[in-house]
Structure 1
Amino acid sequence: MLWILGLEQRDYLAAHCGDSQTVIEPCMVSSDPRILHCSSPKELPVRLGFDLCAEEEAFLSRRKKVVAKALKQALQLDRDLQEDEVPVVGIMAEGGGTRAMTSLYGHLLALQKLGLLDCVTYLSGISGSTWAMAHLYWDPEWSQKDLEGPISHVREHLTKSKLSAFSPEHLEIYRRELQLRAEQGHSTTVVDLWALVLESMLHGQVVDQKLSGQRTALERGQNPLPLYLSLNVKENNLDTFEFKEWVEFSPYEVGFLKYGGFVPPELFGSKFFMGQLMKRLPESQICFLEGIWSNIFSLNLLDTWYGLTCSEGDWKQHIKDKIQNVEKAPVASSATSSWMESSWLKSGTALAQAFKGFLTNRPLHQCEANFLHGLQLHRDYCNQKDFSTWADFQLDPIPSRLTPQEPQLCLVDPAYFINTSFPSLLRPGRRMDLILSFNCSLNSPFEALQQSELYCRARGLPFPHVELSPEDQLQPKECYLFSDPTCPEAPVLLHFPLVNVSFKDYSAPGVKRSPAEIPAGQVDVTKDTSPYALCNMTYKKEDFDGLLRLSDYNVQNSQAAILQALRTVLKRRAPEARPSKAQM
């Protein structure tokens, strides 16, 4: 992709960037069509390009050593693997609120018990699954320790009353945090309040953690690289089927898969123009990023609030209807507002009325400064292969309506479009060999996967064909393998639906339940009366443990399928399986 600055923009930089040595040529030819030409030796803060950043490349080299050792032990290999023989395995976690969070803990716990967690290179998630991911990376050694520690922490807070999250003391904390955020220059919306309430619900306090701080968990390749996703949409039209752009967050970079533009997480939210940093803001706490990644669940704030403060029957039903609609077909409100008003913290009726006002007419997106603002695209950008791969809408021929022309990003939960995190794993530089797909839907275990396949095939992205029999659609099993022998670039995919098939009869793989243990196997993940509904932020202890153990069991019970899939992709990576130079 060719990024070009015209004479008018060059003059703007000369006047505002304070660097008299910076000269941006209006148009220059390069062997790499994605380079922004600047005669200054100082690199732009915005990295332009579709390749992986140098920090991630270095991480991959470190992680491959860990993966090679784990694979040798798991598959009982008789020799050490060379770096180019090590397959890349990624976890693709779905969203689904506390249900997704709890399930992911169970899946990761099972992989750890099987000695396979160290075989994973990437851990990608959206919405509720990011709650588990962000919490795990508090500890730089999390995957090398017993996961029962962080699981116990979540169990404690998920099974207690959420009343304290709305106590006067916590409300005062939220007010101070939001006031500080506004004073720092960040825009503030109800999504930021949701982020703070969520943090209190899940952890009992607001924790000072940053996305860039997760790099310490990657220094030796000791953990998988976490990848979080969001969607950028048009602020005046939040219909993701008309306009959407994937935005990826990692400890190394935040950026657009579509445009090939990235900044370090320390600079996300800061003010940019034409690739130059104009005003640096403090890095946001990761809880505010969680508010972006999972803002569809701000409806849960409604659910909790009306139960604690209001007895108006009509309003209760109004909110219940909104929450139920999210599980079926989420559509964001188009209303926008900035709500930093002093009245919202007042006690009694005034507080309830303030909450009612901005919660029932709230924006469900987050506004952040656009780090691509002012960059101009070459008129033939649509013809660039890497760009077109991720194109999603009908506005491409009109450069004036593209995101770099917007001063702000409008970020929403990816679950508004597809409830899965596949785009990050399919970036060409990551060369995914095996994807472990963890489903957490109560009613449609294959829907997100089939939508992902359709999306990828329409855009020429390699993805295995998801073919199911009528019996599988009616009564899903615990594990499915999908592959495409006609497309070697397509990863092998193992899909784990959220089902209770044999767990109701077995407490562990091969261990039949005694009559006294039968009730523990009755985990309801199908009916409308399930305790794991999207709007439920509080579980009974037995419900939390039931979902955790079910997810753990389903993966452990599929050990043979996982090992076979690893052998398959390892064979693909073998030297004799690679095409010769003459064939390429």
Structure 2
Amino acid sequence: MSASRHQSSDEVKINHSLNKKEEEFISRRKNTVVQCLEKFNIRCSQDKVPNIALLGSGGGQRAMVGLLGSLFELYKAGLLDCILYLAGVSGSTWCMASLYQEPDWSTKLDIVKDKFVKRLSGPEISWTDAFAKLKKYYHGKDFFSLTDVWAAMFVTSYVKELNEQALTNQWNEDSKDPFPIYTVIDKHCKQREEGDPWVEISPLEAGYSLTGAFVDVCNFGSQFHEGSKKNHQDEFDMLYLQAVCSSALADGQEIWKFVKDLLPKLKTLKSAEGPPMLLSEQPLSEDPNSPPIDECYQLLTDLVDMNLAVLEGTDTFALDQSIQTTMADITGKPPLLRGPNFNLAEKQNLTWYNMDVCSFFKDKIKLTKWPFGFLTDVCTCLTQWTWGRNYNFLHNMSDEVVPTALQQNKTRDYEDAGLLNNSPYFSVLREKRGTDLIISLDFSEGDPFMTVRETAEMCKKLNIPFPEVNIPSEDLEKPKDFYVFKGQNAPTVIHIPLFNVVNCGDKIDLWRKKHRTSNLPYSPEEVTELIAVAGKNISNNVEKLLEQIRAVAEAK
């Protein structure tokens, strides 16, 4: 629902209770679940409805297409209406973001799926449109990071759309669809193993699942101090959200190559502001004595090539000489970029080198106008590997419930949850959501049991009810298509690996190689076959799904 349709709060909520609007929606959704289960002779009252959550793991376009195929088979089997929550990370969120553009998509998934597949089989977003979007990001936010580049120039090429809706505008309180939850992680908490890394983002609120600290989603990214909003930032759009959720796919070498390809295009791009002229003909700064544009572009090109050379392990001597010569020509004196024992192959040295050159552009010769300021900022973000930077809504909170690690920094960096655990378990394991049955669709590239096994281990440390997970040794390389894990006073967990001995036979490795996360974007033929193979995991197990749904319903 849009922000105008519900009362927004500018205060941080420290409370494990659910958002009131979520409770109201789930109460209505349970009526749909009751009617769905009755068709299968599973009878229960509205207050005894089993709370069922469907999880989509990460896995790039493989996860996006795999989730679509799985949901479509649930729809055909008449079981989609029994799902209360649909939660995703990484590539699964690409699918979710597209589906929720269509109001009540779960009631017409046959039509929505065809449109989805047609779009994936069509042309990519044009370079001009993608770059125009990137410019909006650069000028429209307090913090620019590689997530903005990843969104406009990479995610668009995989999902084949520019989704500029906000999450609040994608949602209606009368929706007939499952309640969506997107999950990312807090980079600082992940790296330091302190605080709470799990961040969930729903159409109503966003915050830390384990801590119980939330803000209205329309304020997520705004500046807060001691629990109250001070400066508003516009709610970020779905394209950016998909990029935050999927930043594990980001490849440093590919982004440096993107910047290299971008430089000559910018020189030949017409200005959209003022009189028509090439960007290369516009002044680089307000200073009439600013250096010639060709020298500046050459210097930046050499810096990009320098980083690529280091990543590729090739010689950097000539590039270093060119950079130093150009800087000396511009300033009239030699720069101080390295000492006698300087080795560019060492990460810290390359970081210093990059920052010195970027500082030269921005501080010494004041090149901050578009697009040169943007290019140097991209290089700075690449050097510092800055992703998903936003204001910290818990900054300077004085609440003992909030871990100290979450209060200290003015900003937080959010990134793909696949970098910690590739499935959104902790958002649906919140006690107040009362989840009885979790259906985990695992589209991971590596170990097909990593997500469920690591979740079990984390839950044991955190005293969160979760069943014990034991995988037969013979299944590690040749997984089956349906696993059930049960425990006392814990939700039942159904785990479904994408590629298995049932839908792939003895060709599991061939399917995995063909649909690697890096093999993007998929061809129309690959999209079609992946939808089919993922769908088999549902269609082959409808009776088993009903058996477990019936069991949790009877247990309530």
Bucket of the pairwise TM-score, normalised by the shorter protein: 0.7 to 0.9
| Aligned mate of 1:371, from 393, 412, 416 | 393
In the TM superposition, 1:65-214 aligns within 5 A as 65-73=31-39, 75-77=40-42, 81-154=44-117, 156-157=119-120, 159=121, 165=126, 167=127, 169-170=128-129, 172-182=131-141, 186-214=142-170
| Aligned mate of 2:179, from 214, 221, 225 | 225
Work out the percentage of aligned pairs sharing the same amino acid. Answer: 27
Paired residue for 1:267?
A: 219
Determine if the alignment matches structure 1 residue 492 to structure 2 residue 492: yes
Deviation at 1:130, TM superposition (A): 0.7
Paired residue for 1:49?
A: 15
TM-score by length of 2: 0.75
Output the CA distance in 2 between the equivalents of 1:493 and 1:238. Answer: 25
* Greater helix proportion: 2
Seen in structure 2, the aligned counterparts of structure 1 residues 161 and 144 have a Cα distance that, compared at 3 Å, is: closer
Output the CA distance in 2 between the equivalents of 1:565 and 1:200. Answer: 38
Tell me which of the two structures has the higher relative contact order, counting C-alpha pairs closer than 8 angstroms and 6 or more residues apart. 2
Seen in structure 2, the aligned counterparts of structure 1 residues 317 and 275 have a Cα distance that, compared at 3 Å, is: closer
Paired residue for 2:470?
A: 467
> What's the CA shift string for 1:118-150, capped at 9, x where partnerless?
000001111111111111110121101134534
Q: What letter matches 2:108 in structure 1?
A: K
> What's the CA shift string for 1:327-367, capped at 9, x where partnerless?
xxxxxx99999999868858xxx99x979946853525211
Seen in structure 2, the aligned counterparts of structure 1 residues 559 and 240 have a Cα distance that, compared at 3 Å, is: farther
Seen in structure 2, the aligned counterparts of structure 1 residues 319 and 253 have a Cα distance that, compared at 3 Å, is: farther
Output the CA distance in 2 between the equivalents of 1:472 and 1:76. Answer: 34
Paired residue for 1:13?
A: none
RMSD, aligned α-carbons? 3.6
In 1, are the aligned partners of 2:158 and 2:520 still within 8 Å (CA)? no
Counting matched residue pairs gives 464
In 2, are the aligned partners of 1:247 and 1:256 still within 8 Å (CA)? yes
Q: What letter matches 2:100 in structure 1?
A: Y
Paired residue for 2:529?
A: 546
Output the CA distance in 1 between the equivalents of 2:388 and 2:497. Answer: 31
Three-state SS of the structure 2 residue aligned to 1:474 is coil
Seen in structure 2, the aligned counterparts of structure 1 residues 203 and 92 have a Cα distance that, compared at 3 Å, is: closer
In the TM superposition, 1:335-414 aligns within 5 A as 357=379, 361=383, 363-378=385-400, 381=401, 399=404, 402-414=405-417
* Structure 2 residue runs without a partner (length 5+): 1-7, 263-303, 314-349
* Structure 1 residue runs without a partner (length 5+): 1-41, 321-332, 382-386, 388-395, 506-521, 574-584
Output the CA distance in 1 between the equivalents of 2:351 and 2:534. Answer: 37
Output the CA distance in 2 between the equivalents of 1:534 and 1:120. Answer: 28
Output the CA distance in 1 between the equivalents of 2:443 and 2:456. Answer: 18
Paired residue for 1:533?
A: 516
In the TM superposition, 1:554-565 aligns within 5 A as 554-565=537-548
Output the CA distance in 1 between the equivalents of 2:522 and 2:260. Answer: 17
Paired residue for 1:514?
A: none
Three-state SS of the structure 2 residue aligned to 1:495 is strand
Seen in structure 2, the aligned counterparts of structure 1 residues 307 and 368 have a Cα distance that, compared at 3 Å, is: closer
Output the CA distance in 2 between the equivalents of 1:97 and 1:287. Answer: 15
Three-state SS of the structure 1 residue aligned to 2:185 is strand
> What's the CA shift string for 1:422-443, capped at 9, x where partnerless?
0001000011111001011233
Paired residue for 1:440?
A: 443
Deviation at 1:198, TM superposition (A): 3.9
Paired residue for 2:198?
A: 246
Seen in structure 2, the aligned counterparts of structure 1 residues 54 and 244 have a Cα distance that, compared at 3 Å, is: closer
Paired residue for 1:392?
A: none
In 1, are the aligned partners of 2:422 and 2:444 still within 8 Å (CA)? no
> What's the CA shift string for 1:450-473, capped at 9, x where partnerless?
001000011111111111212222
Three-state SS of the structure 1 residue aligned to 2:162 is coil
Output the CA distance in 2 between the equivalents of 1:127 and 1:174. Answer: 21
Q: What letter matches 2:463 in structure 1?
A: G
Paired residue for 1:577?
A: none
Q: What letter matches 1:247 in structure 2?
A: V
Output the CA distance in 1 between the equivalents of 2:206 and 2:218. Answer: 9
Moved more, 460-469 or 355-364: 355-364
Deviation at 1:257, TM superposition (A): 2.2
> What's the CA shift string for 1:409-429, capped at 9, x where partnerless?
221211111111100010000
In 1, are the aligned partners of 2:58 and 2:88 still within 8 Å (CA)? yes
Paired residue for 2:30?
A: 64
Three-state SS of the structure 2 residue aligned to 1:255 is strand
Q: What letter matches 1:473 in structure 2?
A: L
